[in-house]
Amino acid sequence: MAILEVKSLNKIYTTRFGGNQVEALSNVSFLVEQGEYIAIMGESGSGKTTLLNILAALDTPTGGEVILDGKNLSTVKEKQMSAFRRDNLGFVFQDFNLLDTFSLYDNISLPLVLMKKEYPEIRDRVETISYKLGIHELLRKFPYEVSGGQKQRVAVARALITEPKLILADEPTGALDSSSTDSLLNLFNKINEEGQTILMVTHSIKAASHAGRVLFIKDGEVFHQIYKGSNSNQEMYQKISDTLTFISTGGELDE
């Protein structure tokens, strides 16, 4: 069953004085199955970020629709949008987006507090998730006291704690060193194996090679996709690398 349906999305930006029109996305369609782990790759300016913003309901498409778990995003009222986003989506950002006035504990519990959960439930869920992600020792600390990798784990914990239908990750490894990147990607694989659907936008071949499927976007269109299947991470890495070389040298893909 598809948890996310993206149907012929268009996004046209008009410059301020109404002169030039820029097509950021054109006729983008794909399905994400329950429990899938998808990476979306593309160069800067290819439309990745626009796509992610539309999926996150932070931006509205010019045409086409996004259906999350049977619900068309365009039918969600503006007022309920924040709540809808909070209840259904979990976000992981490149620069963590942790609030430095909150302890890590409070950062993780923020979505639950916003959902008006009672304290005992908050406590139990924060406890469970922090053990699972190996950050239990750190909870009393503040964001400025821990490393980038630890911050990103906290951000993942915050995204997971609401048990969202879909995790949207925007360049999650972008600000991490290589060992933190490895451990974060392993963490994503682990939660994906437990059934969590993940959609990740990335530049990094390494990050993409951990995903079950990679979509390539070029000039606002879905250009190509690769399934991992039974390939190992290394084989997947090679395939992605070849595809990217191919795209950047500008050739048409043989059918």
Partner 1 sequence: MSSFFYARLAASNIKKNRQIYVPYIITCIITIAFYYIMKSLSLNEGLDSLYGGGTIRQTLGLGCNVVMIFAVIFLFYTNSFLMKRREKEFGLFHILGMEKKHLMRVTGIETLYIALLGLSFGFLFGIVLDKTMFLLILRVLGREVSLGFYISREAIVSTITLFLAIFFLIFLNTARRLGFSKPIELLKGSNVGEKEPRANWLFAIAGVLCLGAGYYLAVTVQNPVTAIMVFFVAVILVIAGTYLLFTAGSIVLLKLLRANKRYYYKTRHFIGISGMLYRMKQNAVGLSNICILSTMVLVMVSSTTALMIGSDDLVSTRYPYDFTYYGYETHYGDIDYANREALFDQTLENNGLTKTESVRFRILNFTAVKEGDGFTIREGIDSAGFLEDFEEMAFITLDDYNRSMGENITLNDDEVMVYSNRSKIKSDKLVLDDFEFKIVKQLQAFQCVGSGALASNITSSHIIVVKSPEIIDALYEYQKERYKDMAGGIDYIYGVDVDGEDEAQLSAYEQIRAGLGQLGIPENEAVGRVESRVEGAQGFYDIYGGLFFIGIFLGLLFTVAMILLIYYKQITEGYYDRERYVIMQNVGMSQKDVKASIHSQILTVFFLPLITAGIHLFFAYPIVEKILAILNLSNTRLYVYCTIGCVAVFSLLYVIIYGWTAKLYYAIVKK
Is 227 among the residues that bind partner 1 (CB under 8 A)? no
CA–CA distance from 140 to each of 106, 135, 136 (Å)? 9, 10, 9
CB contact at 8 A, 185 and 210: yes
Beta pairing class for 213-218 and 37-41: parallel
CB contact at 8 A, 240 and 41: yes
Beta pairing class for 21-33 and 2-14: antiparallel
The binder of partner 1 chosen from 72, 114, 163, 235 (CB under 8 A): 114
Kindly tell me which of 142 and 246 has the beta carbon lying closer to partner 1: 142
Instruction: Residue count of the chain, please give it.
Output: 255
Q: Which of the stretches 11-19, 74-82, 211-219, 246-254 binds partner 1 when contact is defined by CB under 8 A?
A: 74-82
Sign of CA dihedral 97, 99, 103, 106: negative
The binder of partner 1 chosen from 21, 81, 177, 248 (CB under 8 A): 81
Kindly tell me which of 102 and 237 has the beta carbon lying closer to partner 1: 102
Is 76 among the residues that bind partner 1 (CB under 8 A)? no
Contact string (CB under 8 A) for partner 1, positions 124-163, x = contact: ------------------xxx-------------x-----
The binder of partner 1 chosen from 45, 72, 83, 193 (CB under 8 A): 83
CB contact at 8 A, 182 and 237: no
Separation CA 221–CA 224 (nearest Å): 9
- Classify 220 as helix, strand or coil: coil
Q: Which of the stretches 28-36, 75-83, 183-191, 238-246 binds partner 1 when contact is defined by CB under 8 A?
A: 75-83
Is 79 among the residues that bind partner 1 (CB under 8 A)? yes
Binding site for partner 1 (CB under 8 A): 79, 81-83, 85-86, 91, 93, 97-103, 106, 109-111, 113-114, 116, 118-119, 122-123, 142-144, 158
